[in-house]
Amino acid sequence: MKNIFKIISIFLLIPLVFNACRDDQYDNNWKSAEPSFTLYNTTLTSNTLYPTMENNPFRLTWDNTTGASGDFSVVYSTTSDFKTKIVLGTSKTTSYTTTIGALNTALLSAGYSPYTTKAVYMRVEVGDKVSNAISFDVKPYPTAAPVITAPVVGAEILLNGAAPDDVITTFTWSDYNNYGVNVTYLIEISKKGANNFSTLGSVMNTKSFEATNKVLNDAVLSAGLEANVKGEVDVRVTATSKSTGGTITKVSNIVTFKVTPYVAFKNMFLVGDATAAGWNPNNNNQAIFRDPSNVNKFYFTGKFGTSMFKLVEVLGNWQPQWGLKAGLVANSDGGDPDPFTTSSAGYYAFSMDISAKTYTLTPYTGSMATYSTIGMIGDFNSWGGDLSLEQSTYDSHQWSLKDITIPTTGKFKFRADGAWTINWGADTEFSGKGVQDGGNIPLTAGTYDIYFNDIDGRYQFIKK
């Protein structure tokens, strides 16, 4: 036999099952090789590649009985006829060594899909001479991260509060064409440069996410943007896939774009055995009071029982709920939070900032006057008589009215016992902190649930 050089052995630190095969094009000149395989530092019995093998060597050796000189090229192909072939590497000797990581990357570049088993064909070429071909099945792992394609850097999005459920933008990204397993994509938002990412949404096995006005508005406000002011946010996409080799997470590039959010009020209601409602999210739960100038801040001064409480945003629903995770204020994204706790019953001053993730909960020792009635008087009733609020049977300093229609837009004040001696006014609509003899409070016509706290003068109107 002449013009023969054959592959002697292939050494892998992974258990690849190699099948020697004959390249028919050279059948008259070549004899089938009988490669041998030696395993090092692994007891794995599959042909699956893992990231932990990234630096393990992948080695090919062959003899050169023909005395050929020049560079030996190790080529591989997805088909046995080598119609399309790619150079894996070259060598001036009768061996070639690379790494499992480099092999994995080469296969992915050739169109192999992560977590999908497929045959690869290899041979050695030098000048006009070729070796026999060998083949083995292999399953690569993903190495590249998603690349965000929309929105583009610098894009501007104006959110529309009049159409909260309309899709305002679609986030898209590129990734491998196909995975052999499910892949979950997590879309996250942060205020520009803050690196404090929170979840916008997630999808599985698709490379796009539609964001409505409300979803994106809530996310950017929680990230710290100011309503009605254009701000910049960062977005990233994280791909997570799982196999027998473990979990692989790849994080995309960050794209910064501009958003103008609208004012979106969250409402917060107490729930828990330290509150009047108990652990029932639809039991006449007490609302806490939103800061009129910062929609992320809330306050409540009042009576708590012993033990625990959380907050819910929607009466009758446990989600979203708010509490603590690792000592920070957090919602139920990624799992329910832990409750706030009170060690003994009494009056407390509670505040929280859902953007800064901070809170305070301290015993209240200030003064508390007692009133027989609390009422509203204003343009809606021609400043004649009082619309009386209902006093809580649990905490005599909390007052409320449900499903009350205010027929005309105008102004009003709160007052005690049907007289002007004690009255509360302010200049902020829907929520605020009334003070003695303060200004008239603006109010738009509509139907509301109304809450008032006579300890600190805070009020809140929840439009129905």
Classify domain 269-363 by CATH number: 2.60.40.3620
Please write the tens of the pLDDT for every residue from 121-153. 999 888 888 888 888 889 999 999 999 999 999
- Region for 331 from its dihedrals, namely left if φ exceeds 0, alpha if ψ lies in -120 to 50, beta otherwise: beta
Q: What is the mean pLDDT of the chain?
A: 88
Please write the tens of the pLDDT for every residue from 191-202. 999 999 989 999
Classify domain 7-138 by CATH number: 2.60.40
Q: Give the per-residue pLDDT at 227.
A: 83
* Shared fold status for 7-138 and 269-363: yes
Classify domain 374-463 by CATH number: 2.60.40.3620
Q: Does domain 147-260 have CATH number 3.40.50.2300?
A: no
Q: Give the per-residue pLDDT at 452.
A: 98
- What confidence tier does 16 reach under pLDDT thresholds 50, 70, 90? very low
- pLDDT top residue among 131 and 89: 89
SS (H, E, C) the chain: CCCCCCEEEEEECCCCCEEEECCHHHCCCCCCCCCECCCCCCCCCCCECCHHHCCCEEEEEECCCCCCCCCEEEEEECCCCCCCEEEEEEECCCEEEEEHHHHHHHHHHCCCCCCCCEEEEEEEEECCEECCEEEEEEECCCCCCCEEEECCCCCEEECCCCCCCCEEEEEEEECCCCCCCCEEEEEEEEECCCCCCEEEEEEECCCEEEEEHHHHHHHHHHCCCCCCCCEEEEEEEEEEEEECCEEEEEECCCEEEEEECCCCCCCCEEEECCCCCECCCCCCCCECEECCCCCCEEEEEEEECCEEEEEECCCCCCCCEEEEECCEEEECCCCCCECEEECCCEEEEEEEECCCCEEEEEECCCCCCCCCCEEEEEHHHCCCCCEECEECCCCCCEEEEEEEEECCCEEEEEEECCCCCCEEECCCCCEEECEECCCCEEECCEEEEEEEECCCCEEEEEEC
Q: Give the per-residue pLDDT at 413.
A: 98
- What confidence tier does 24 reach under pLDDT thresholds 50, 70, 90? very low
320 upstream amide cis, omega within 30 of 0: yes
In this prediction the pTM is 0.55
pLDDT at 61 over 90: no
208 vs 450: CA distance, rounded Å:
41
Q: Give the per-residue pLDDT at 263.
A: 77
Domain boundaries, the chain: 7-138, 147-260, 269-363, 374-463
Q: Give the per-residue pLDDT at 43.
A: 36
